[in-house]
Amino acid sequence: MTRRTASVQLKMRNLSDFWRRYKKNRAGVLGLALVLFFVTLGLLAPVIAPYDPWQVQVGKPFSPPSAEHWMGADHLGRDLYSQVLYGARVPLLVGTLAALFSTLIGIVVGAASGYFSGKLDDALMRVTELFMMIPSFFLLIVLVTIFERSIWYLVFVIGITGWPGTARLVRGEFLSLKEMPFVEAARSIGASHRHIIFREILPNAMPPIVVNASLGIGATIILETGLSFLGLGDPNVISWGNILANAQIYIRLGWHASVFTGLAIFLTVLGLNLLGDGLNDALNPRLKER
Amino acid sequence: MANRSASWKTYALRRALGAVPLVFAIILLNFTLIHIAPGDPILLLTGEIAPSPEYIEAMKTKYGLDRPIHEQLLIYLSSVLRGDLGRSIRYDIPVTELIASRAPATLLLMGTSISISILIGILLGVISARKPYSLTDNLTTVFSLIAFSIPIFWLAQLLMITFALQLGLFPTGGFSSARTTLAGIDYALNVLHHLFLPALTIALLRLATTSRLTRASMLEALSQDYVITARSKGLDERTVLFRHALRNALRPVITMTGLQIGTMIAGATLTEIVFSYPGIGWMTYQAVLQRDYPVLMGVYLVVSLSVILANFVTDIVYALYDPRVRYA
């Protein structure tokens, strides 16, 4: 057996071990199912959507749910079900990418701060504290209005405002892990800072970071839909937030646009939160046994 | 005793001095944004709708736009510190005046919902911590999970659709009924009637955070020696829970309330939009639609300063309440 296949087998074993632990948390399994369900709907939207989501007058404006239009029609007579399917894409994409981006920044800042401590730590924590105080929702409103309304820009700005929580978490992990015997051992055989940070400490700090990131995706989806609801979404795409912004304007004329779209957001975020809980239990088995 | 009061003042002074760099950093960030934004800074200071050349000249002189950048920063800093945040494009009145005229509605909305959620939230948290995994505890767990996953503006829409549009129990929006001449108690009741649904929306979500946090920190407190001592002294359960455990468990709750003021104002903003409640949030929404840049930058600055102030206040409140903090 070559070394490579052995390591692959080991990884598979770990994965099935992980799944065995994960599925003990029934709510976590439900969460995973919800997330997969909405991701699939978003990905397969072109295949499953019964109508072109942009096509106006395929139904009577504001018509309630019916056999032809499962969720009814919006103010322009567009099919709401098709819109909700396509509308999943932007929040899921922005939520995932922005959460990953801010997690990355948080890891860099937190690791540098916790590992090197001293003056660098003081300075970085000052910046982190400042970013924690800044009301990011209102900063985002300013940034989006004066610069541009596009998905990539949104990912960027949500990423650079959303990292302080992760940075503090990572810093805490680094502060306690760097005192551990295995890190001392690595240091005593002359391992470089880079090796110790990325190979020794970071892998051990990953579990809480992963949990935090999965909760972060849910929070970012709520943030993104909130900004779009305010009218700051990219007007050239269909997104849950954009649908809800329109639903708000015409709320007296039809309830269904709001109810169905909001339900989709709610279930997706609920799924992500349950997923985060499940990951937490599966990644920290010792915590559970206490 | 004299020593104690002196140390409390030192603590407050230290905290206040600590907040100064934050205030400057936030104003500096605003200044940077004005200058790195595409187009002329004059656009963000005065707006898009072409003002007269004389007005532009006047603004250029006022903000010193033809002078070196560090002088501009000083001018900006001094005008902000004097409370001058520019003029609203849409209303053509000073931004400070506009914000001040909308602040009372938002303060009423937030004050009501925060008080309700803190009172009920702490009570729920204490009950949950007293009997973990009991029916009440599990129900609040489920409730919190839902509250953490629901977008606040959708909750607002659901409440509005159900209780205002379908059942007609509450008005669909506004601060009070227009075109009526109510006075005294009738007017107050009318205002409360309009306040109910938006306040309920915010309170429901805040309740989840407060009750979870109280539960966690109460569980911690209840396992401490002083609680065991209090129980073994034969004190009744209510005294142990509220006098001994809760007093110590409240700190994270107070701190979190301060830290989350920004998030709360954001939530209030989205709620105000749904109920067309004429506060800061509704004004922000109008400003977004009209691209009223000076108003948006002013709101951002004012909210930032409120967050710093709220944190300062919660720190001081806690230091007054718990002397140990001052020596930390």
Query: For residue range A158-170, what is the model confidence (pLDDT) as tens digits?
Result: 999 999 999 999 9
- Greater confidence (B174 vs A1) lies with B174
Across residues A91-118, what is the average pLDDT? 94
pLDDT at B55: 75
Query: For residue range B222-255, what is the model confidence (pLDDT) as tens digits?
Result: 888 888 888 888 888 888 888 888 888 888 888 8
Across residues B91-109, what is the average pLDDT? 91
- Residue B272 included in any domain: yes
Across residues B304-309, what is the average pLDDT? 90
- Residue B192 included in any domain: yes
User: Residue B55: how many CA atoms within 13 Å on its side-chain side?
Assistant: 13
Which CATH number fits the domain that encloses residue B234? Answer: 1.10.3720.10
Q: Does A133 touch chain B (CB under 8 A)?
A: yes
Cβ atoms of B294 and B47 within 8 Å: the answer is yes
Which residue in chain A has the smallest CA separation from B307? Answer: A133
Put simply, the answer to whether B149 touches A251 (Cβ < 8 Å) is no
The whole domain housing B270 covers 104-293
Q: Does B142 touch chain A (CB under 8 A)?
A: no
Assess whether pLDDT exceeds 60 at residue B1: no
If one counts the domains in chain B, the total is 1
- Residue B279 included in any domain: yes
B254 contacts: CB under 8 Å, gap ≥ 6: B314, B317, B318, B321
Cβ atoms of B316 and B12 within 8 Å: the answer is yes
Among A125, A134, A260, A273, the strongest candidate for a mutation testing the B interface, having the largest count of B CBs within 10 A, is A134
- Residue B175 included in any domain: yes
Which residues, listed in sequence order, are joined to residue A79 by a DSSP beta bridge? A73
Phi and psi torsions of A73, nearest 5°:
-125, 155
Put simply, the answer to whether A252 touches B266 (Cβ < 8 Å) is no
pLDDT at A288: 45
pLDDT at A57: 77
Across residues A97-123, what is the average pLDDT? 93
Which residue in chain B has the smallest CA separation from A135? Answer: B262
Phi and psi torsions of B33, nearest 5°:
-60, -45
Find chain B residues with C-beta within 8 A of A218's C-beta: 149
Q: Does B109 touch chain A (CB under 8 A)?
A: no
pLDDT at B150: 95
Name which of A141, A232, A248 is nearest B157 (Cβ-Cβ): A248
User: How many Cβ pairs closer than 8 A exist between chain A and B?
Assistant: 128
Find chain A residues with C-beta within 8 A of B29's C-beta: 134
Put simply, the answer to whether B300 touches A135 (Cβ < 8 Å) is yes
Q: Does B158 touch chain A (CB under 8 A)?
A: yes
pLDDT at B276: 92
CA-based nearest residue to B151, from A228, A266, A39: A266
Put simply, the answer to whether A137 touches B266 (Cβ < 8 Å) is yes
Six token digits for residue A186: 């690595």
pLDDT at A290: 36
- Residue B67 included in any domain: no
- Residue B68 included in any domain: no
Residue type, position B271, single letter: T
Highest mean pLDDT among A223-227, B72-76, B190-194: A223-227
Highest mean pLDDT among A123-137, A212-226, A247-261, B21-35: A212-226
CA–CA separation, A200 and A117 (whole Å): 17
Which residue in chain A has the smallest CA separation from B274? Answer: A248
- Residue B234 included in any domain: yes
Assess whether pLDDT exceeds 80 at residue B52: no
A214-218 contacts at long range (C-beta below 8 A, 24 or more positions apart)? A214/A272, A214/A275, A214/A276, A214/A279, A215/A272, A215/A273, A215/A276, A216/A99, A216/A102, A216/A103, A216/A162, A216/A165, A216/A166, A217/A95, A217/A96, A217/A99, A217/A272, A218/A95, A218/A268, A218/A269, A218/A272, A218/A273, A218/A276, A218/B149
Helix ranges (DSSP H) in A117-135: 118-133
- Residue B265 included in any domain: yes
pLDDT at A90: 93
